[in-house]
Amino acid sequence: MSDPLVYLNGSLTPLSEAKIPVLDRGFIFGDGIYEVIPVYQRKMFRSDQHLARLFRSLTAIGITNPHSKEEWLSLIDQVMTAHEADDQMVYIQVTRGVAKRAHAFPKEATPTVFIMTNPIVLPSATAREQGVACVSMEDKRWLRCEIKSISLLGNVLAAENAAEHGVTESIQFRDGYLTEASSSNVWIVKNGVMAGPPKDNLILEGIRYGLIQELCAAQNIPLEARRITKEEVFAADEVMLSSATKEILAVVRIDEQTIGKGKPGPIYQQLFQAYQQAKAT
Protein backbone atom coordinates (compact mmCIF):
# COMPACT_ATOMS: atom_id res chain seq x y z
CA MET A 1 0.00 0.00 0.00
CA SER A 2 1.88 3.04 -1.24
CA ASP A 3 -0.37 5.74 0.16
CA PRO A 4 -2.07 4.42 3.31
CA LEU A 5 -4.73 6.33 5.19
CA VAL A 6 -3.48 8.16 8.26
CA TYR A 7 -5.31 10.04 10.99
CA LEU A 8 -4.51 13.73 11.40
CA ASN A 9 -6.42 16.08 13.68
CA GLY A 10 -9.90 14.71 13.22
CA SER A 11 -9.86 13.06 9.82
CA LEU A 12 -8.52 10.12 7.88
CA THR A 13 -6.48 11.21 4.90
CA PRO A 14 -3.99 9.63 2.49
CA LEU A 15 -0.46 9.94 3.87
CA SER A 16 0.67 11.94 0.84
CA GLU A 17 -1.95 14.59 1.60
CA ALA A 18 -1.42 14.83 5.38
CA LYS A 19 0.11 18.22 6.19
CA ILE A 20 0.85 20.27 9.30
CA PRO A 21 1.69 23.97 9.58
CA VAL A 22 5.39 24.87 9.81
CA LEU A 23 4.78 26.53 13.20
CA ASP A 24 3.80 23.21 14.75
CA ARG A 25 5.88 22.96 17.91
CA GLY A 26 6.84 19.43 16.97
CA PHE A 27 8.66 20.86 13.94
CA ILE A 28 10.00 23.98 15.68
CA PHE A 29 11.04 22.53 19.07
CA GLY A 30 10.58 18.76 18.93
CA ASP A 31 7.89 19.53 21.52
CA GLY A 32 5.86 16.36 21.60
CA ILE A 33 5.75 12.67 22.40
CA TYR A 34 5.12 9.48 20.47
CA GLU A 35 4.20 5.84 20.88
CA VAL A 36 4.83 2.72 18.80
CA ILE A 37 2.39 -0.19 19.10
CA PRO A 38 2.90 -3.54 17.36
CA VAL A 39 -0.14 -5.18 15.79
CA TYR A 40 -0.28 -8.92 15.15
CA GLN A 41 -3.12 -10.39 13.12
CA ARG A 42 -4.92 -7.03 13.36
CA LYS A 43 -4.84 -7.04 17.15
CA MET A 44 -2.77 -4.54 19.11
CA PHE A 45 -0.24 -6.24 21.34
CA ARG A 46 -0.22 -4.84 24.89
CA SER A 47 -2.40 -1.88 23.96
CA ASP A 48 -3.23 -1.09 27.62
CA GLN A 49 0.43 -0.74 28.50
CA HIS A 50 1.22 1.31 25.38
CA LEU A 51 -1.69 3.68 26.00
CA ALA A 52 -0.72 4.00 29.67
CA ARG A 53 2.79 5.01 28.57
CA LEU A 54 1.33 7.46 26.02
CA PHE A 55 -0.68 9.06 28.82
CA ARG A 56 2.38 9.17 31.11
CA SER A 57 4.40 10.86 28.36
CA LEU A 58 1.67 13.47 27.83
CA THR A 59 1.47 14.18 31.56
CA ALA A 60 5.27 14.40 31.82
CA ILE A 61 5.41 17.25 29.31
CA GLY A 62 2.18 18.96 30.35
CA ILE A 63 0.01 18.27 27.30
CA THR A 64 -3.64 17.70 28.18
CA ASN A 65 -4.64 14.31 26.82
CA PRO A 66 -6.90 15.17 23.88
CA HIS A 67 -8.77 11.83 23.89
CA SER A 68 -10.26 9.26 26.23
CA LYS A 69 -8.83 5.75 26.13
CA GLU A 70 -11.89 4.56 24.16
CA GLU A 71 -11.41 7.35 21.62
CA TRP A 72 -7.73 6.49 21.21
CA LEU A 73 -8.59 2.82 20.66
CA SER A 74 -11.22 3.73 18.08
CA LEU A 75 -8.89 6.12 16.19
CA ILE A 76 -6.10 3.54 16.10
CA ASP A 77 -8.58 0.91 15.00
CA GLN A 78 -9.71 3.05 12.06
CA VAL A 79 -6.12 3.48 10.81
CA MET A 80 -5.32 -0.17 11.45
CA THR A 81 -8.44 -1.43 9.65
CA ALA A 82 -7.77 0.75 6.61
CA HIS A 83 -4.36 -0.89 6.10
CA GLU A 84 -3.95 -4.07 4.09
CA ALA A 85 -1.26 -5.66 6.28
CA ASP A 86 -2.28 -7.99 9.12
CA ASP A 87 0.91 -7.33 11.12
CA GLN A 88 1.64 -3.64 11.60
CA MET A 89 3.48 -0.99 13.59
CA VAL A 90 1.21 1.84 14.65
CA TYR A 91 2.93 5.20 15.25
CA ILE A 92 1.16 7.84 17.31
CA GLN A 93 2.61 11.35 17.52
CA VAL A 94 1.18 14.12 19.70
CA THR A 95 2.72 17.59 19.71
CA ARG A 96 1.80 20.68 21.71
CA GLY A 97 0.29 22.11 18.53
CA VAL A 98 0.70 25.24 16.43
CA ALA A 99 1.67 28.56 18.03
CA LYS A 100 3.75 31.70 17.50
CA ARG A 101 7.39 30.78 18.04
CA ALA A 102 8.32 31.16 21.72
CA HIS A 103 9.94 28.48 23.86
CA ALA A 104 7.58 28.44 26.87
CA PHE A 105 4.21 26.73 26.52
CA PRO A 106 1.66 28.79 24.53
CA LYS A 107 -1.45 29.88 26.46
CA GLU A 108 -3.71 28.32 23.90
CA ALA A 109 -2.76 25.56 21.54
CA THR A 110 -4.57 22.50 20.35
CA PRO A 111 -2.40 19.36 20.35
CA THR A 112 -1.60 17.94 16.93
CA VAL A 113 -2.53 14.25 16.78
CA PHE A 114 -1.13 12.03 14.06
CA ILE A 115 -1.56 8.25 13.71
CA MET A 116 -0.06 6.14 10.94
CA THR A 117 0.65 2.49 10.46
CA ASN A 118 3.17 0.47 8.43
CA PRO A 119 3.64 -3.23 7.85
CA ILE A 120 5.79 -4.54 10.71
CA VAL A 121 9.41 -5.34 9.80
CA LEU A 122 10.76 -7.98 12.17
CA PRO A 123 14.37 -9.22 12.43
CA SER A 124 15.45 -11.46 9.55
CA ALA A 125 15.75 -15.24 9.90
CA THR A 126 19.55 -14.82 9.81
CA ALA A 127 19.46 -12.28 12.65
CA ARG A 128 17.31 -14.71 14.65
CA GLU A 129 19.59 -17.70 14.02
CA GLN A 130 22.96 -16.00 14.31
CA GLY A 131 22.29 -13.02 16.56
CA VAL A 132 23.42 -9.49 15.73
CA ALA A 133 26.42 -7.21 16.26
CA CYS A 134 26.38 -3.88 18.09
CA VAL A 135 28.84 -1.11 18.95
CA SER A 136 29.29 0.59 22.30
CA MET A 137 29.19 4.34 22.77
CA GLU A 138 28.90 6.96 25.48
CA ASP A 139 25.29 7.97 26.20
CA LYS A 140 25.19 11.68 25.44
CA ARG A 141 21.43 12.16 25.66
CA TRP A 142 19.51 14.32 28.11
CA LEU A 143 18.44 13.16 31.58
CA ARG A 144 14.74 12.61 30.87
CA CYS A 145 15.07 9.46 28.77
CA GLU A 146 11.99 7.99 30.50
CA ILE A 147 9.81 10.30 28.37
CA LYS A 148 9.05 8.92 24.91
CA SER A 149 9.86 12.28 23.40
CA ILE A 150 9.90 13.04 19.68
CA SER A 151 13.13 15.01 20.36
CA LEU A 152 15.18 12.03 19.24
CA LEU A 153 18.42 13.64 18.07
CA GLY A 154 20.55 11.72 20.60
CA ASN A 155 18.93 8.45 19.51
CA VAL A 156 19.26 9.40 15.84
CA LEU A 157 23.00 10.03 16.26
CA ALA A 158 23.39 6.74 18.14
CA ALA A 159 21.50 4.86 15.40
CA GLU A 160 23.61 6.54 12.73
CA ASN A 161 26.75 5.51 14.60
CA ALA A 162 25.53 1.90 14.46
CA ALA A 163 24.66 2.22 10.76
CA GLU A 164 28.11 3.60 9.97
CA HIS A 165 29.63 0.59 11.70
CA GLY A 166 27.34 -1.75 9.77
CA VAL A 167 25.75 -3.11 12.98
CA THR A 168 22.25 -3.27 14.45
CA GLU A 169 22.41 -0.93 17.42
CA SER A 170 24.66 1.33 19.49
CA ILE A 171 24.65 0.13 23.10
CA GLN A 172 25.06 3.19 25.29
CA PHE A 173 26.88 3.66 28.58
CA ARG A 174 26.70 6.62 30.95
CA ASP A 175 29.62 7.03 33.32
CA GLY A 176 30.59 3.41 32.75
CA TYR A 177 27.11 1.97 33.34
CA LEU A 178 24.74 0.43 30.80
CA THR A 179 21.72 2.53 29.86
CA GLU A 180 20.06 1.34 26.65
CA ALA A 181 20.50 1.10 22.89
CA SER A 182 19.49 3.70 20.27
CA SER A 183 15.93 2.37 20.11
CA SER A 184 15.79 -0.68 22.37
CA ASN A 185 16.35 -1.83 25.94
CA VAL A 186 19.39 -4.01 26.74
CA TRP A 187 19.63 -7.10 28.95
CA ILE A 188 22.47 -9.32 30.07
CA VAL A 189 22.63 -12.88 31.41
CA LYS A 190 25.39 -14.16 33.70
CA ASN A 191 25.33 -17.62 35.28
CA GLY A 192 21.64 -18.03 34.53
CA VAL A 193 20.65 -14.69 36.06
CA MET A 194 19.12 -12.06 33.80
CA ALA A 195 19.73 -8.37 34.56
CA GLY A 196 18.60 -5.06 33.13
CA PRO A 197 19.22 -1.45 34.17
CA PRO A 198 16.72 -0.03 36.68
CA LYS A 199 13.65 1.80 35.40
CA ASP A 200 14.71 5.38 36.02
CA ASN A 201 15.20 8.61 34.10
CA LEU A 202 18.20 7.20 32.20
CA ILE A 203 16.21 4.78 30.05
CA LEU A 204 12.86 4.49 28.34
CA GLU A 205 10.81 1.86 30.08
CA GLY A 206 10.01 -0.35 27.12
CA ILE A 207 6.69 -2.14 27.07
CA ARG A 208 8.83 -5.22 26.59
CA TYR A 209 10.62 -4.38 29.84
CA GLY A 210 7.47 -5.27 31.78
CA LEU A 211 6.77 -8.20 29.50
CA ILE A 212 10.26 -9.62 30.05
CA GLN A 213 9.71 -9.31 33.80
CA GLU A 214 6.51 -11.33 33.42
CA LEU A 215 8.09 -13.92 31.10
CA CYS A 216 11.08 -14.38 33.42
CA ALA A 217 8.79 -14.85 36.41
CA ALA A 218 6.71 -17.43 34.51
CA GLN A 219 9.82 -19.28 33.29
CA ASN A 220 11.59 -19.18 36.68
CA ILE A 221 14.45 -17.13 35.28
CA PRO A 222 15.87 -14.91 38.03
CA LEU A 223 15.83 -11.24 36.98
CA GLU A 224 17.57 -8.31 38.62
CA ALA A 225 17.00 -4.62 37.87
CA ARG A 226 20.28 -2.97 38.83
CA ARG A 227 23.15 -0.84 37.62
CA ILE A 228 25.32 -2.86 35.22
CA THR A 229 28.93 -1.94 34.41
CA LYS A 230 30.40 -1.92 30.93
CA GLU A 231 32.76 -4.72 32.01
CA GLU A 232 29.79 -6.88 33.00
CA VAL A 233 28.18 -6.39 29.60
CA PHE A 234 31.32 -7.50 27.76
CA ALA A 235 31.78 -10.45 30.15
CA ALA A 236 28.12 -11.56 29.96
CA ASP A 237 27.11 -15.05 28.82
CA GLU A 238 24.30 -13.49 26.80
CA VAL A 239 23.23 -9.98 25.78
CA MET A 240 19.78 -9.19 24.38
CA LEU A 241 17.90 -6.25 22.93
CA SER A 242 14.16 -5.73 23.33
CA SER A 243 11.80 -3.42 21.47
CA ALA A 244 8.50 -3.46 19.62
CA THR A 245 10.25 -4.13 16.31
CA LYS A 246 13.07 -6.35 17.54
CA GLU A 247 10.88 -8.22 20.02
CA ILE A 248 13.77 -9.99 21.80
CA LEU A 249 17.01 -10.25 19.83
CA ALA A 250 20.35 -11.83 20.77
CA VAL A 251 23.55 -9.75 20.57
CA VAL A 252 26.62 -11.88 19.83
CA ARG A 253 29.28 -9.23 19.26
CA ILE A 254 29.93 -5.76 20.68
CA ASP A 255 32.71 -3.73 19.07
CA GLU A 256 35.35 -6.35 18.27
CA GLN A 257 34.44 -8.63 21.15
CA THR A 258 32.45 -11.86 21.00
CA ILE A 259 29.70 -12.17 23.61
CA GLY A 260 29.41 -15.55 25.35
CA LYS A 261 29.70 -18.36 22.82
CA GLY A 262 29.09 -16.03 19.89
CA LYS A 263 25.62 -17.38 19.16
CA PRO A 264 22.13 -16.86 20.60
CA GLY A 265 22.13 -18.44 24.06
CA PRO A 266 19.66 -20.66 25.96
CA ILE A 267 17.93 -17.90 27.95
CA TYR A 268 17.40 -15.95 24.74
CA GLN A 269 15.87 -19.03 23.09
CA GLN A 270 13.59 -19.59 26.06
CA LEU A 271 12.41 -15.96 26.18
CA PHE A 272 11.99 -15.75 22.41
CA GLN A 273 9.69 -18.80 22.47
CA ALA A 274 7.75 -17.37 25.40
CA TYR A 275 7.41 -14.06 23.57
CA GLN A 276 5.99 -15.79 20.48
CA GLN A 277 3.47 -17.59 22.70
CA ALA A 278 2.48 -14.33 24.38
CA LYS A 279 1.89 -12.82 20.93
CA ALA A 280 -0.35 -15.69 19.91
CA THR A 281 -2.63 -15.51 22.96
Q: Which is nearer to ligand PDD, 46 or 83 (CB)?
A: 46
The backbone region for 175, taken as left when phi is positive above 0, alpha when psi lies in -120 to 50, beta otherwise, is left
Q: How far is the CB of 183 from ligand PDD (least distance, A)?
A: 4
Q: How far is the CB of 178 from ligand PDD (least distance, A)?
A: 12
Q: How far is the CB of 13 from ligand PDD (least distance, A)?
A: 23
Neighbouring-strand partners of residue 134: 169, 254
User: From CA 212, how far away is CA 240, in angstroms rounded?
Assistant: 11
SS3 54: helix
Active site residues: 148
Q: Which of 242, 231, 234, 233 is nearest to 268 (CA)?
A: 242
Q: Taking CB positions, which residue lies at the least distance from ligand PDD?
A: 206
Q: How far is the CB of 40 from ligand PDD (least distance, A)?
A: 14
User: From CA 225, how far away is CA 244, in angstroms rounded?
Assistant: 20
Q: Which is nearer to ligand PDD, 15 or 263 (CB)?
A: 15
For residues 240 and 277, the answer to whether their CB atoms sit within 8 Å is no
Q: Which is nearer to ligand PDD, 8 or 211 (CB)?
A: 211
User: From CA 47, how far away is CA 26, in angstroms rounded?
Assistant: 24
Integer CA distances (angstroms), 140 to 65, 143, 184, 198, in order: 30, 9, 16, 18
Q: Which is nearer to ligand PDD, 98 or 216 (CB)?
A: 216
Q: Which is nearer to ligand PDD, 99 or 197 (CB)?
A: 197
For residues 169 and 134, the answer to whether their CB atoms sit within 8 Å is yes
SS3 233: helix
Integer CA distances (angstroms), 135 to 127, 141, 162, 201, 202, in order: 16, 17, 6, 23, 19
Integer CA distances (angstroms), 96 to 104, 108, 223, in order: 11, 10, 38
Q: Which is nearer to ligand PDD, 25 or 208 (CB)?
A: 208
Q: How far is the CB of 149 from ligand PDD (least distance, A)?
A: 10
Neighbouring-strand partners of residue 171: 136, 181
* Contacts to ligand PDD by CB under 6 A: 36, 155, 180, 183-185, 204, 206-208, 242-245
Q: How far is the CB of 19 from ligand PDD (least distance, A)?
A: 23
Eight-state DSSP code of residue 142: -
